[in-house]
Structure 1
Amino acid sequence: MPSTTEDADATAEAARTPGLWRNRDFNLLWGSQSLSDVGTAMANLALPLLVLHLTGSPTQAGAVGTVGLLVGMACRLPAGVLADRLDRRKVMITCDLLRLAAYGALGAAVVAGAAGIAMVVVVVICGAAANALFSTAEHAAVRSLVETDQLPTAVARNEARAYGTSLAGPPLGGLLFALGRSLPFFGNAVSHLLSLVTVLCIRRPLQRPRTAPAGSGRAAGAEGLRFVLGNPFLRALLLIAAPLNMAFTGMIFAIIVSLQRAGTSSFVVGCASMIFGLGGFLGAFAAPAMQRRLPLPKLILVLCWATTALMALSALFPTSVLAAVPLACAVFLGPTANAALFGYQAAITPDHLQGRVISVILLVATSAAALAPGLAGLLLAHLTSATTMLAFSLIVAVSAVAATFSTGIKSMPSQT
């Protein structure tokens, strides 16, 4: 019977497709970047501590962090063009070599007592630029390493990696810095050396052959932007994700500042930060199961409206660590949404545009989030903590209304 034959063919095809945990190349990339992300988190914690040690100025320590954020944002769109135009494997290797040299040199300078603020700024600039380019190339390469139906699960695993390293990296960086000021930087350099070796061991190509000549950098960047704005789903994603990311970042900042102003101990403030990260970490592991139960359009609506309500609930406890619990529940939903959204984006975007489309989406999302601490500080200077938190809940409500009435979301297939 035809149906029996078709079922047999489908079963055979499923048997030939290895599960994600048996995908050698993806697991090599995932494992190496877990170590690399831990190294980056250690260095990001140690850099302001080093600047404080060198200058005694919190202002200069904060300025160095701001430089890193601005460089990363400025490099995001060019990184998308380069990730699509050049060999992605060579791009990633070059980034690892740059980070290895920069952080190794900084560690050696600290040991020799020759590290200065100028060198720290140069290392921060090199690291931020390399991080932006590497992460864009890595995001774009995932589509070449896994099957299309495995993309959401692959993104969910990357989300778990990001939250896990954000939990492990800073405490480890602080411990190493206490043992020796050079150790976090040497540790970061070693992590990039391991990343370099692992990328060399990946067998599959990280992109499809290019059949058309590349245009100029400006034209290439415009092509990615046109693709995003021309797709109803991606266009709606930008309108929804920007205020959502801003609200999350601002809310976390507002809770931490409110706890500090209330005289809460540093340990308890640290516990609040850990609660946020733990919510995302657990959400990343739950993401595959939740995606099977919630189609993407419904998932977007649930995330937006649930986050609106949970942030409003946090506002009831403005000076208590309990404010972190509802927000952690909202963060729990984030990895599922990111996995579904970026999995869908990867599936509908041609390989030669992956880097540019990802860079546009990430630039919009991170640019909005970068404004959040300043906005939160301004609101806290003139309003109560509870009112400030409610303001961020209202910002998410804007995303929720946009998602509810968006034709781009409504026109999406119910299963992706």
Structure 2
Amino acid sequence: MSALWRNREFTLLWTSQSLSDLGGAIAQLAVPLLVLDLTGSPVKAGVVGTCALIAKLATRLPAGVLADRVDRRRAMLICDVIRLIAGIGLGVAVATGRATLALIITVAVLDAACTALFNTIEHASLRSIVPAAQLPAAVARNEARTYGTALAGPPLGGLLYGVTHALPFFGNALSYLASFAGVTLIRRPLQAEQSEPPPRHATALAEGLRFVFRNPFLRAVLIIAAPLNFALTGVLFTIVVTLQRHGVTPGVIGLTETIVGIGGLTGAFVAPALQRWLPFARLIRAICWAAAGVLVASAWLTTSVLAAVPVAVAVFLGPSCNAALFGYQAAITPDRLQGRVLSVIFLAAMSASAAAPLLAGFFVTAWGGPRTILFFAASVVVAALTASLAAGIREMEPLEETAPT
């Protein structure tokens, strides 16, 4: 792990994106607060979030194609410039009292689309700046970054918004400036040289889809990642709704996400040790079955904030699973296909998690909290069975012996 921190390019990328993620987490809290102050409508605040989510989902597959067709460094810098200008524009509008719902939605959609493209390119570039044996550790470090900024961002966003409403948006814009500087300072190429011109967009996308669905390991990743994301999102939403129906105060309900976030952050730091302790295939199987078990335990605690503790345990195991799966994916996927393969996996996982709150709302109303959580836990069993039975997982080789196929 110390060798990874001596990797100049990875350290620059990780540090600059930590600041960028922190700015994003700050704005994520400030945007709905701003919409509520301007309109007084929770529905309109939800519309902004939904528009941003739709933009992310719609951008995923095109982002994968672009990540493999264009100069990755240049594309990342363009994304940062667009997000920087949008953030400053919104901050100025808020400071001068000219912010409108249409402007907020426009900025949110631009930011979401550019972030989807940037994140896809960042993940695709890891293979170019990190040795294959260290890819799982790099993924685990990125997981720690995600959970850490998600924990720190909302409280900081609330504090800045309390000082003056425009401050969180200027802070977010400043974080994109830090991202721009970090990417600019990276010396190593972020992609391999291509001997042939890239195919057309539709052909390139079809090539990426064929590669995913013909590769036993990547097919298994799709079936493992989607149910896990679906279940964790659904269970957490179910707990929040159930606690609210039992009259638990909002402040206590808010602790659920803090507990879960701490579990994920701790798990990200423990992930490298777990990877050294168990072979990847056995580790993935153990994590999936353990996640199914602890989510079942959560069903008996739905009237208390303690229901979040089993979820935190499942999320604690998540970074180790992600590090193993995505580290191995990066090692076996040719560089020219990295973006497209990642975009397919991300789209499957995001689509499943986006549907979870809606289904959870229906099921909680019809069945109650415990049965709804058991339903989501059952979906994790699908992931666990896949991890146990799929040839692509059982036949995983040590990373030192892998080569793109």
Aligned to 2:255: 271
Equivalent residue letter for 2:34: L
User: Are 1:210 and 2:205 matched, yes or no?
Assistant: no
Can you give the 5+ residue segments of structure 2 that lack an aligned partner in the other structure? 401-405
CA distance in structure 2 between the partners assigned to 1:224 and 1:116 by the alignment = 40
Answering whether residue 387 of structure 2 is matched by residue 403 of structure 1, we say yes
CA-CA distance at 1:412 after TM superposition: 2.4
Output aligned runs, 1:6-21, within 5 Å: 19-21=3-5
Indicate the structure (1 or 2) with the bigger Cα radius of gyration: 1
Stretches of 4+ aligned residues off by more than 6 angstroms: none
Contact 2:275/2:320, CA 8 A, preserved across alignment: yes
Aligned partner of 2:209: which letter? L
* Correspondence 1:335 to 2:319: yes
Write the mapping of 1:26-175 to structure 2, written as runs, cut at 5 A.
Answer: 26-175=10-159
Percent identity (aligned): 57
Structure 2 counterpart of 1:341, which letter? L
Q: Please give the residue correspondences for 1:375-386 in structure 2 after superposition, counting only pairs within 5 Å.
A: 375-386=359-370
The alignment partner of 1:155 has SS state of helix
Equivalent-residue separation in structure 1 for 2:131 and 2:338 (angstroms): 15
Instruction: For residue 18 of structure 1, report the CA deviation from its aligned partner.
Output: 8.1
User: Any idea what the Cα deviations from partners look like across 1:181-209, whole Å, max 9, x if unmatched?
Assistant: 11110000000011101111111111111
CA positional deviation for 1:408: 2.2
Unaligned stretches of 5+ residues in structure 1: 1-16
User: Once superposed, what is the RMSD of the aligned Cα atoms?
Assistant: 1.3
2:8 maps to: 24
Q: Offset at 1:237? A: 1.1
Q: Match for 2:60: what amino acid?
A: R
Deviations 1:251-275 (A, max 9, x none): 0111111111111122211111100
CA distance in 1, matches of 2:222, 2:251: 36
TM-score, length basis structure 2: 0.97
Deviation at 1:160, TM superposition (A): 0.3
Q: In 2, distance between residues paired with 1:400 and 1:290?
A: 18
Q: Are residues 1:252 and 2:236 paired?
A: yes
Larger deviation, residues 293-302 vs 370-379: 293-302
2:280 corresponds to 1:280: no
Distance (Å, rounded) in 2 between the aligned partners of 1:135 and 1:153: 18
For the pair 1:374 / 2:358, whether they are aligned, the reply is yes
Q: Structure 1 residue 415: deviation in Å?
A: 6.6
Aligned-partner Cα distance in 2 for 1:341–1:404:
14
Instruction: Kindly indicate whether the alpha-carbon contact (under 8 Å) linking 1:156 and 1:287 is maintained by their aligned counterparts in 2.
Output: yes
Residues 68 and 139 (structure 1), Cα distance of their counterparts in 2 relative to 1, 3 Å cut: same
CA contact (8 A) 2:231 2:379 kept: yes
Tell me which amino acid in the other structure corresponds to 1:123. V
1:402 deviation in Å?
2.5
**Count of residues in correspondence between the two structures:** 400
Q: Is the 8 A contact 1:107 1:183 kept in 2?
A: yes
Residue 247 of structure 2 aligns to a residue in which SS? coil
Q: Which residue of 2 aligns with 1:227?
A: 211
CA contact (8 A) 2:91 2:167 kept: yes
Mapped to 2, the partners of 1:132 and 1:53 lie a distance apart of 28
